Amino acid sequence: MRLLLLHTDEAMRGFLPELFRIWLSKSHPAGASKVEVLDANDLDHAKVVSLIKKRFDCIFVNLRLPAMLSIRIAELVHLARVPTRLVLISGAPQELGPGLSLFDGYIRTPFVDKSFGEALDEILLRPLPSEHRSLSSQEHLDIAILNLLQRCDGLAPGSRGALHAFGMYRDAYLHRPWRAAHDEPSMTRSQVNRQIDFFGEVRPLGFAGRLSGVRARVNASRFYTPSEKSFLSSQFSYLLDAFGLTLMDFRAETKEVLDGLERFGSVAEAGEAEDSSGLGEDLLRSSAPMRYVHQGITQIVRLLPGAAGRGSEVR
């Protein structure tokens, strides 16, 4: 049995491997076993993809891996149907609730309710769930991620809350669409690796950075009053939350909206009504399929230079 520990805490990396070895000597006395330990502070996405392809029997992670990689590892394991157990080791003070469905097991530290060995027995000696995990679609995965971030929004430093944290996560790890089928046959190792590569290729639109640039242009504009700038800023914050929820299904539309918003930023900076010809219509059309994004865009286009009734919503 091959075990991998990815942890950011030096003390945990120091004593947990010995506990693993003690358990392995009892549960697999005649088998070849190995425990690998990596300092998770040095992890990046490319390294994570390569580690998952090494087909460990179990990977143990703590929540606070850099760049929300504990969530990304869980998502990749589900997306590619990797036959590797993924176990969370955490000292989180709060109950993690439905978000734990991202993982195949949870060991809470310090060990109070049961010994470490008993916890490993429950997790590692039961059948491998790789083909029968409960998260059967991208929507189920997204809900589980949101649930986890609701309990631990500190996983995304600088976020305002779970929705913003989810947007930051999806902004970084936008992957190809996934539609799982319940009757998919078992895959060979090479097929699993191709799946890992397929979903490991992330294609972010960078909407957080792009919206930040639009906000900066609006704030620098002489065309808008302070109250209008404040109102627009709140709408940009709203869009940061809304984009993450729609991005998987509306990539092309999201890109069009972002292109339009960047043009909005240029218009705001210039303050010329003629530069905004057709922009409001384009933004409303592109955002129409995305209900929550459309609500924010509707408020923004009312403040385009030359728009009828401009400023009424901020009084």
- How does residue 137 score in pLDDT terms, banded at 50, 70 and 90? confident
Span of 118-132, 152-166, 206-220 with lowest mean pLDDT = 118-132
Average pLDDT, integer, range 201-212? 92
pLDDT confidence band for 99 (50 / 70 / 90): confident
Identify the pLDDT of residue 94: 65
Of residues 311 and 122, more confidence is placed in: 122
Indicate the range of 190-199, 280-289, 306-315 predicted with least confidence: 306-315
pLDDT of residue 237: 93
Residue 136, pLDDT score:
75
Sequence-separated (6 or more) residues with CB below 8 Å from residue 71: 102, 145, 148, 149, 155, 169
Sequence-separated (6 or more) residues with CB below 8 Å from residue 86: 58, 59, 61, 73, 74, 77, 102, 103, 104, 105
Phi, psi of 38 (to 5 degrees): -130, 140
Top mean-pLDDT range of 118-127, 174-183, 217-226: 217-226
How confident is the model at residue 37, as a pLDDT?
Answer: 97
pLDDT tens for residues 21-36?
999 998 877 667 899 9
Q: Using one digit for the tens of pLDDT, what is the confidence trace for 234-260?
A: 999 999 889 998 888 899 999 999 999
pLDDT at 314: 46
Strands 85-90 and 105-108: parallel
Q: Is-contact 79 178, C-beta < 8 A?
A: yes
Average of per-residue pLDDT across 97-126: 84
Question: Which sequence spans correspond to the domains of the chain?
Answer: 2-200, 207-314
| pLDDT at position 315 | 41
What tokens were used for 60?
């143990």
**127 or 111: which leads in pLDDT:** 127
Cα 184 to its chain centre, rounded Å, is: 25
10 SS3 class: helix
pTM: 0.87
Q: Are 92 and 150 in contact (CB under 8 A)?
A: no
Position 14 scores a pLDDT of 94
Whole-number pLDDT of residue 30: 63
How far is CA 279 from each of CA 265, 282, 286, rounded to the nearest angstrom?
11, 5, 11
- Tens of pLDDT, residues 63-97: 999 999 999 999 999 999 899 999 999 887 567 78
Closest CA to 280 of 254, 261, 255: 261
Tell me which fold the domain 2-200 belongs to.
Rossmann fold (3.40.50)
pLDDT digits (tens, 9 = 90+) for 252-303: 999 999 999 999 999 888 876 666 778 999 999 999 999 999 999 999 999 9
